[in-house]
Amino acid sequence: MIAGWVLFALACVTFWGLWGFVGKLTMNRGMSYLTFAAISSLGMAATALIVMLMVGAFRSGSAASFGFALLTGLLAGLGIIAFYGALERGRAAIVVPLVALYPAVTLILSVTLLHERLSRLQGLGIALTLVAAVMLSDESSAETPKVSDLPERRDAS
């Protein structure tokens, strides 16, 4: 029996995978990283609002939960800025696999502060995901210029 959270996680992997593909299509046409991040964030917030209104789920919980939600959005945005800042200054072949290690931070905090327990098999699964995440970001087969070396945009035709 597959747990409910797994189905949500698989949906997440699918949607984010499609997002990455559409992002690739957009940037292949000349749009810069930061412009794509800014414009797509508009579509993201609009979609989140529409889905929330359609489902009619409004459970804000405690004041702390609202603070954590605001912090969550801010951290996601700062993560994007830091990631693109690193790409602008360093080589993608090094930066991308390094940043792919971010789940390790969540893992450490969840186990130490939330006291989440993992079975040995789950530990093996997490180790596999971390290795796979770093390997997925392999850029060695391609040219890996700095973002600042990339063309900013293609002229409108």
Contacting other proteins within 97-136 (CB under 8 A) = 98-107, 109-111, 113-114, 116, 118-119, 121-122, 124-126, 128-133, 135-136
Taking alpha carbons only, the member of 81, 80, 79 closest to residue 105 is 79
Long-range contacts of 76-84 (CB under 8 A, 24+ apart): 80/37, 84/33, 84/34, 84/37, 84/147
Residue 8 binds other proteins, judged by CB under 8 A: yes
CB of 68 to other proteins, least distance (A): 4
Q: Give the position of tokens 């130490």.
A: 112
Q: Which of 22, 93, 143, 149 binds other proteins (CB under 8 A)?
A: 22
Q: Measured in whole angstroms, how far is the alpha carbon of residue 57 from the centre of its chain?
A: 24
Considering the complex, what minimum distance in angstroms separates the CB of residue 145 from other proteins?
Answer: 14
Task: Say whether residue 37 binds other proteins (CB under 8 A).
Answer: yes
Q: Enter the tokens of residue 137.
A: 């970001």
Task: Determine, following the binding rule CB under 8 A, whether residue 145 of this chain makes contact with other proteins.
Answer: no
